[in-house]
Amino acid sequence: MIIMAESAHGTLRTVFLAPMVGDFAARQWGVLTGSLLSLFLAWLMAPWLGARDGATLMRIGLLWVALTAGAEIWIGIALDLSRQRMLEDYNPAQGGMLGIGMVFLACAPWLAAKLRKLTPDTPV
Distances in Å between the alpha carbon of 97 and those of 5, 34, 35, 43, 120? 19, 11, 11, 23, 33
Of 61, 74, 70, the closest CA to residue 114 belongs to: 61
Residue 48 lies in a domain: yes
Q: Distance between CA atoms of 53 and 119, rounded to whole angstroms?
A: 7
Residue 104 lies in a domain: yes
Tell me the residue range of the domain where 80 lies.
Answer: 39-117
Residue 24 lies in a domain: no
Amino acid at 27: R
pLDDT at 122: 58
Q: Distance between CA atoms of 101 and 107, rounded to whole angstroms?
A: 10
Ramachandran quadrant class, 119 (left: phi over 0; alpha: psi -120 to 50; beta: rest): beta
Q: Distance between CA atoms of 85 and 122, rounded to whole angstroms?
A: 44
Residue 100 lies in a domain: yes
Residue 21 lies in a domain: no
pLDDT at 80: 95
| Structural domain count of the chain | 1
pLDDT at 79: 93
Amino acid at 11: T
Q: What is the pLDDT along the chain (124 residues), one digit of tens a residue?
A: 899 999 999 999 999 999 999 998 999 999 999 999 999 999 999 989 888 899 999 999 999 999 999 999 999 999 999 999 889 889 999 888 999 999 999 999 999 999 998 766 555 5
Residue 25 lies in a domain: no
